[in-house]
C-alpha cells in the first residue's frame, strides 16, 4: 500500500494530492546544474530538497525513476536569450576548453552531492549528448507551425499558444528580469516572449561547440534540452518536474510551451519548486561575486551534512537566509543529534511489548509530516520526540535508521566508529591477556624482575593489573 502524499503544485497553485500517471510509479525530472562554475550552497539547497522528495516517495512505496540533465551548452548569462554563453564565459575565465570546464565542474558537482548525501539520479544526461533529439523536436515544432526561422535563428512562436503563462502571471515589464541592460533586444522575435530553439547566427564568433543542423551550423537554446532529455528517458507524460523558483519563468514556462506544442497534450502534472537560499544581499548566485561552496564550508571546518540539516530545518517553499550564526546553530544541533544516537545501546533485551505500538505511531507521525508538503522540520521534530520517548534504545536506533533513509543525515554513520571501537576493544583485551599469561609464566619461573617489567609496561599504557586469589584481573586507568 502506497502512503498518500500531498504537495504544493506551482501549476495549480495549491497543495494537491499526488496521484501519478501510472499506479505505483513516479517519473521525476530535475533541471541539472549549468557546469561553468562550482555549484553554490544555494543551488545545493534545491538539490537537497529534491533528493528528500525523491527519497520520501520511495519510502512511501513508489517506484521512482529520476532523470537530470547537465547544462553544458546554450545557457546564456541572462535567462532570456541574451548575454554571453555561460560555458564560454567559464572557459575564458580559466583559459580552458568548454568541454574541459564541463567535465571538471560536473565532477565537482557530483562530489558535492556525495558529500551532502544527495543520491545520484537514475539517469544523468549532458545536453551535448542529445543534439539529434533537439533537432528532431525543433523540426516537428516547425512542421506544426509553432516555430519560425528569423535572422538565421529558429524561434518558438508563443502567440500560437492558447495560454503561455501557465505557471505564473507575468507582466510585460517583468520580462526584462535578468536581462542585462547593455544587451540589445533581439529584433528577430515576432513576440517579446518568443524564445530561441536553435542559434546559428551566433553573437559569439568564438563559440566552441557547434553542430550541423537543417538551419546551418549552430547550437541549441537552453530550454529545449530539458524537454528533450526528459522525454527521451521518461516518455511524453511526466509526473513531477523540479527546480528552483527562478526556473519558473522563463525556463519552465518555455519548457511547457514547446513540450505541449510538440506532443499535442498535457506534459507534466506536478511542478515542485524550491525557494532560494539568500544572503543579506539577496539571492545567492554564481554570477554575483562571492558565493559559498561545499569545499569552502569544509575548509572552515563545517561538516557538509550539518548544512543538509540546516536546509531540512526550514520549509522548502520559504526563502532561507544564510548566516554563519544560523549555520553554527545547525552544527551544534547536528553534533548533539549524532552523539545522542551513537550513545544508544543496541541491546535488544530491553525491547518491551509497548515498543511496537509506539514504533507504529512514530512512523505514522514521520510519514504524515513528510506527506504534508514535505514538512521536513516537523519530521525532524518527530525524530527528537522519538529520541526523548521511553522507547528502548534498540527501538530508537531502528527508528532513527528508518527515518534516515529519507533525511540522509548520516545519523547512523557512528556505527562504523562503534564497530571500530569494538574491534579495538577486542584487540586490546587479547593483548593484555597475552601479557598477563607471560607475567604468570615469569613468576612461575621466579623471574620476578621480568614480571615487574611487564606490569610497568602495561601501566605505562594505562592498564592496571590486580592480583587476586582467582588470578590477575585488569582495568583501564
Ligand atoms: P544553475 O546551475 O544556475 O542552472 O542552477 C541549478 C539549480 O539551482 C536550479 O534549479 C536553480 O533554480 C537553483 N538555484 C539557483 N540559485 C539558487 C539559490 N540561491 N537558492 C536555491 N536554489 C537556487
Ligand atoms: Zn531545465
pLDDT in tens, 352-404: 778 899 999 999 999 999 999 999 999 999 999 999 999 999 999 999 999 99
Mean pLDDT, residues 186-194 taken together? 92
Residue nearest to atom 15 of ligand 1 (CA): 43
**Is residue 244 within 6 Å of ligand 1 at its C-beta?**
yes
**Is residue 32 within 6 Å of ligand 1 at its C-beta?**
no
Q: Which atom of ligand 1 is nearest to the CA of 320?
A: 20
Q: Which atom of ligand 1 is nearest to the CA of 45?
A: 21
Percent of the chain with pLDDT over 90: 69
Residue nearest to atom 22 of ligand 1 (CA): 43
Percent of the chain with pLDDT over 70: 92
Rounded to the nearest 5°, which phi and psi values hold at 286? -65, -30
Distance between Cα 456 and ligand 2 center (Å): 69
Q: Which residues contact 258 (CB under 8 A, 6 or more apart)?
A: 137, 141, 146, 156, 197, 223, 224, 227
Q: Using CA atoms, how far apart are residues 52 and 370, in angstroms rounded to an integer? A: 9
Rounded to the nearest 5°, which phi and psi values hold at 5? -140, 135
Predicted confidence (pLDDT) per residue in 28-64, tens digit: 999 999 999 999 999 999 999 999 999 999 999 999 9
* pLDDT of res. 420: 41
**Is residue 243 within 6 Å of ligand 1 at its C-beta?**
yes
* pLDDT of res. 429: 77
Residues 305, 309, 315: CA angle, nearest 5 degrees: 145
Q: Which atom of ligand 1 is nearest to the CA of 30?
A: 10
* pLDDT of res. 351: 75
**Is residue 276 within 6 Å of ligand 1 at its C-beta?**
yes
- Banded model confidence at residue 286, pLDDT cuts 50, 70, 90: confident
* pLDDT of res. 416: 44
Q: Using CA atoms, how far apart are residues 407 and 49, in angstroms rounded to an integer? A: 10
Mean pLDDT, residues 297-325 taken together? 97
Distance between Cα 226 and ligand 1 center (Å): 15
**Is residue 283 within 6 Å of ligand 1 at its C-beta?**
yes
Q: Using CA atoms, how far apart are residues 387 and 341, in angstroms rounded to an integer? A: 8
Q: Using CA atoms, how far apart are residues 161 and 283, in angstroms rounded to an integer? A: 32
Q: Which residues surround ligand 2, an ion (CB under 5 A)?
A: 31, 226
Contact (CB, 8 A) for 141 and 127:
no
Residues 43, 194, 206: CA angle, nearest 5 degrees: 65
**Is residue 42 within 6 Å of ligand 1 at its C-beta?**
yes
Predicted confidence (pLDDT) per residue in 60-97, tens digit: 999 999 999 999 987 887 777 777 788 888 888 999 99
The three cell numbers locating residue 102? 564541463
Predicted confidence (pLDDT) per residue in 145-181, tens digit: 999 999 889 999 999 999 999 998 765 555 444 443 4
Considering just the CA atoms, what is the radius of gyration of the chain in Å?
29
Distance between Cα 274 and ligand 1 center (Å): 9
- SS3 track for 301-356: CCCHHHHHHHHHCCCCCCCEECCHHHHHHHHHHHHHHHHHHHCCCCCHHHCCHHHH
Distance between Cα 309 and ligand 2 center (Å): 26
Amino acid at each position: 500500500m502506497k502512503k498518500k502524499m500531498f504537495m504544493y503544485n506551482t501549476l495549480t497553485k495549491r497543495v494537491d494530492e499526488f496521484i501519478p500517471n501510472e499506479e505505483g510509479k513516479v517519473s521525476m525530472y530535475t533541471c541539472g546544474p549549468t557546469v561553468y562554475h562550482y555549484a553554490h550552497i544555494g543551488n545545493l539547497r534545491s538539490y537537497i530538497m529534491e533528493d528528500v522528495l525523491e527519497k520520501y516517495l520511495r519510502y512511501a512505496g513508489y517506484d521512482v525513476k529520476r532523470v537530470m540533465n547537465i547544462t553544458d551548452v546554450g545557457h546564456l548569462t541572462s535567462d532570456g536569450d541574451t548575454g554571453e554563453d555561460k560555458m564560454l564565459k567559464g572557459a575564458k575565465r580559466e583559459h580552458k576548453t568548454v568541454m574541459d570546464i564541463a567535465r571538471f565542474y560536473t565532477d565537482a558537482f557530483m562530489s558535492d552531492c556525495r558529500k551532502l548525501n544527495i543520491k545520484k539520479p537514475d539517469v544523468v544526461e549532458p545536453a551535448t549528448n542529445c543534439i539529434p533529439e533537439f533537432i528532431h523536436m525543433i523540426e516537428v515544432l516547425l512542421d506544426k507551425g509553432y516555430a519560425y526561422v528569423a535572422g538565421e535563428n529558429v524561434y518558438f512562436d508563443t502567440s500560437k499558444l492558447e495560454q503561455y503563462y501557465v505557471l505564473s502571471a507575468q507582466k510585460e515589464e517583468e520580462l526584462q528580469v535578468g536581462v542585462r541592460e547593455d544587451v540589445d533586444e533581439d529584433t528577430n522575435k515576432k513576440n517579446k516572449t518568443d524564445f530561441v530553439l536553435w542559434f546559428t547566427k551566433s553573437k559569439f564568433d568564438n563559440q566552441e561547440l557547434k553542430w550541423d543542423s537543417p538551419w546551418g551550423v549552430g547550437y541549441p537554446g537552453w530550454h529545449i534540452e530539458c524537454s528533450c532529455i526528459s522525454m527521451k528517458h521518461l516518455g511524453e507524460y511526466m509526473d513531477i518536474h523540479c527546480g528552483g523558483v527562478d526556473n519558473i519563468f522563463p525556463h519552465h514556462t518555455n519548457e511547457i510551451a514547446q513540450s505541449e506544442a510538440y506532443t499535442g497534450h498535457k506534459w507534466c502534472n506536478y511542478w515542485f519548486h524550491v525557494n532560494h537560499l539568500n544572503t543579506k544581499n539577496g539571492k545567492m548566485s554564481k554570477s554575483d561575486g562571492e558565493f559559498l561552496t561545499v569545499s569552502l564550508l569544509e575548509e572552515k571546518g563545517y561538516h557538509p551534512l550539518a548544512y543538509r540539516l540546516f536546509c531540512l530545518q526550514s520549509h522548502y517553499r520559504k526563502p532561507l537566509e544564510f548566516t554563519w550564526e544560523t549555520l553554527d546553530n545547525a552544527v551544534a544541533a547536528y553534533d548533539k543529534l549524532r552523539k545522542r544516537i551513537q550513545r544508544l545501546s543496541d541491546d535488544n533485551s530491553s525491547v518491551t511489548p509497548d515498543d511496537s505500538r509506539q514504533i507504529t505511531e512514530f512512523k505514522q507521525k514521520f510519514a504524515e509530516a513528510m506527506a504534508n508538503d514535505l514538512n521536513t522540520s516537523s519530521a525532524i521534530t518527530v525524530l527528537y520526540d522519538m529520541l526523548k520517548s521511553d522507547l528502548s534504545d534498540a527501538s530508537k536506533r531502528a527508528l532513527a535508521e528508518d527515518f534516515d533513509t529519507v533525511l540522509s543525515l548520516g545519523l547512523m554513520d557512528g556505527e562504523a566508529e562503534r564497530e571500530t571501537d569494538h574491534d579495538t576493544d577486542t584487540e586490546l583485551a587479547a593483548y593484555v591477556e597475552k601479557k598477563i599469561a607471560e607475567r604468570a609464566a615469569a613468576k612461575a619461573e621466579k623471574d620476578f624482575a621480568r614480571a615487574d617489567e611487564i606490569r610497568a609496561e602495561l601501566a605505562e599504557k594505562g592498564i592496571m593489573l590486580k592480583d587476586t586469589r582467582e588470578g590477575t584481573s585488569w582495568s583501564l586507568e
